[in-house]
Structure 1
Amino acid sequence: MELLSKEEIDQSESQYSFTKLVEKCSPPVYKFCRSLTYSKEDADDLFQETFLSAFEQQTKLLQSDNPQSFLFCITLYLWKSIKRKYARRNKIAPFEPVQDNIISTLNTENDFIKQEEIDMVRHLVTLLPEKYKVPILLYYTIDLSVGEIAKVMKIPVGTVKSRLFKARKIIEKELEDTQHEK
């Protein structure tokens, strides 16, 4: 029977800790990926890239005060990189995305109206400038506190509160404008 060296023991403990962290943080990170991308396929890719990057940085991740926040930072950074790459490619060869959230069978008029309002709010959130969109997504889809959002985005708490307030006002105004048009 071979004895394990100190490095091998440390490495196996680190892998165990990383595995536990992945199990604990996967659902909220995936939910955040879905919120950012609005597409299952893109969310799957972003999720995979996030944890690949996290694995490569696992010593930093495991030493972090808030590993979940660290994972959100990685996700946000990767998403921004993907958006920049997409924007560059779209300038060269633009294309129209296919709407993947087609409404299934709706039984009543109320269900249809409710679904229409949800789609309208989603659409308005996608139109928000990035500095407003990200805090809204983190706050309402991931249920992060204002302090946690400040850590993820590396901005002051007051700025997060201000951006959440402004984003809500923008969405509210747009909803009122569309109601008056009807």
Structure 2
Amino acid sequence: MNHMDTRLAKLARGGDRAAFAELVELYKDKIYHLAYRMLHNRHEAEEIVQETFLRVYTNLERYDDQQKFSTWIYRIGTNLCIDRLRKRKITYSLDAEMNDGEGNDWYSTLASNDQTPDQHVELSETQAQIRDSIDTLPEKYKAVVVLRYLQDLSLQEISEALSMPVTTIKTRLHRGREYLRKKLETLI
């Protein structure tokens, strides 16, 4: 699989549109799931997918085929999600000042996710609590938790995707898990 990605990326870099279309097919769902888990908003996740592939397309000549294509595309997608989360925080802090300082956490003031009936999959209460808890993770933990447990990337792959040492990834995973454990204990 990974060798095929690299070969497709090389072909796409040379102007092969069919190869690029194949890369889109291979990764659009993976990037969508990553973005949806990070942002928990369908519309924004779709935008991240489009933006990721736009970045991939315009930066293909910078892709180093010595590294896995998956690592490269996850780095682009994750960084776009983190940028989006940072913009949300800025928007929230402005809204909060107009909100008479009511003690809502910033997630509760975000636009609703407009779940459509077909998208509303029945989750067990525990799964729903875990998902909601992941949503409240600070962004530096959220990215590593999502990439590790929901996208199933190895520590090494996460390290490459986020340009951080494996030791930092391990620390953030540990702290993210602790945060989730404490959060879930208060719910049970």
TM-score of the superposed pair, with normalisation by structure 1? 0.75
Select 2:20's aligned residue among 5, 18, 21: 18
In the TM superposition, what whole-angstrom CA distance separates every residue of 1:45-85 from its partner, at most 9, and x where no partner exists? Answer: 11101101111101123635111111111112222222333
Select 1:144's aligned residue among 138, 153, 157: 153
Q: Does 1:166 align with 2:180?
A: no
Long gaps (5+) in structure 1: 1-9, 105-110
**3-state DSSP of counterpart to 2:67:** coil
Q: Distance in 1 between matches of 2:46 and 2:85?
A: 15
Select 1:27's aligned residue among 9, 13, 29: 29
Which residue type is aligned with residue 50 of structure 2? Q
1:98 corresponding residue in structure 2? 112
- Residues 63 and 41 of structure 1: is their aligned pair in 2 closer, same or farther, counting only changes over 3 Å? same
Identity within the alignment, %: 25
In the TM superposition, what whole-angstrom CA distance separates every residue of 1:84-123 from its partner, at most 9, and x where no partner exists? Answer: 333333334465422545899xxxxxx8xx6222221112
Give me the CA root mean square deviation: 2.6
Structure with higher Rg: it is 1
Q: Does 1:80 align with 2:92?
A: no
Q: Distance in 2 between matches of 1:89 and 1:124?
A: 22
Select 2:63's aligned residue among 40, 61, 66: 61
TM-score of the superposed pair, with normalisation by structure 2? 0.73
- Residue 25 of structure 1: how far off its partner (Å): 2.2
1:132 corresponding residue in structure 2? 141
Q: Distance in 1 between matches of 2:47 and 2:29?
A: 15
**3-state DSSP of counterpart to 1:63:** coil
Which residue type is aligned with residue 177 of structure 1? T
Long gaps (5+) in structure 2: 1-12, 97-108
Q: May I ask how many residue pairs the two structures share in their alignment?
A: 161
Q: Distance in 1 between matches of 2:163 and 2:52?
A: 18
Q: Distance in 1 between matches of 2:29 and 2:66?
A: 19
**3-state DSSP of counterpart to 1:74:** helix
